[in-house]
Amino acid sequence: MRRFAYWLFPLTTAAVAVFIVVFMIRINPSVPPSEDASVEEDHSLNVPASAQESWIGRFSMNEEKGYFYPINEVHLDLAMGDVAPVTRYRLTVPLKDSYELFCLKQELLNSGLHYFFHKEGDAMTLLVDSDDQNRLESLVTKLKTYQITATLSPYEEN
């Protein structure tokens, strides 16, 4: 029994070491250099030379190999050209009770507009921003059938 206890710890250590080595080989197989070079050459034909030199080019090549890097911040410079500014409109609806809120939400759901609900104390206000003036004007006329007052005004972000 002493002989078994004497060899138990070294045999267990050796078995765990073999298991770790086999596990590491299975999850990260080594690729022969000749195959790895051919994969790189095939991939470099599809990617422009400027992308290969940038960090995003290296990132895309590594993504195909199965490596992923966390990105905390991305900075984009866009050349917009001559784009006319879009006029945005804001629909402001002061709400008095829950019935008006229900009717307004149903009309907004039917028209597909997104809204922002703002509540300060007892005063409730629902704001709708859109660049389609005709759509907002038709919403104002629909709200008049429910006797809900709404104001439409041009909106500029500060």
Over residues 82-123, the pLDDT tens digits come to: 766 777 888 888 888 888 888 888 988 888 888 888 887 777
d(CA 124, CA 97): 9
Length of the chain measured in residues:
158
d(CA 24, CA 43): 27
Q: What pLDDT digit, counting tens, does each position of 123-144 carry?
A: 777 888 888 888 888 988 998 9
Domains of the chain: 2-65 (no CATH), 88-155 (3.30.70.120)
d(CA 57, CA 142): 52
**Rg of the Cα atoms in the chain:** 32
- Per-position b or e across 72-87, b if 16+ CB within 10 A of its CB: eeeeeeeeeeeeeeee
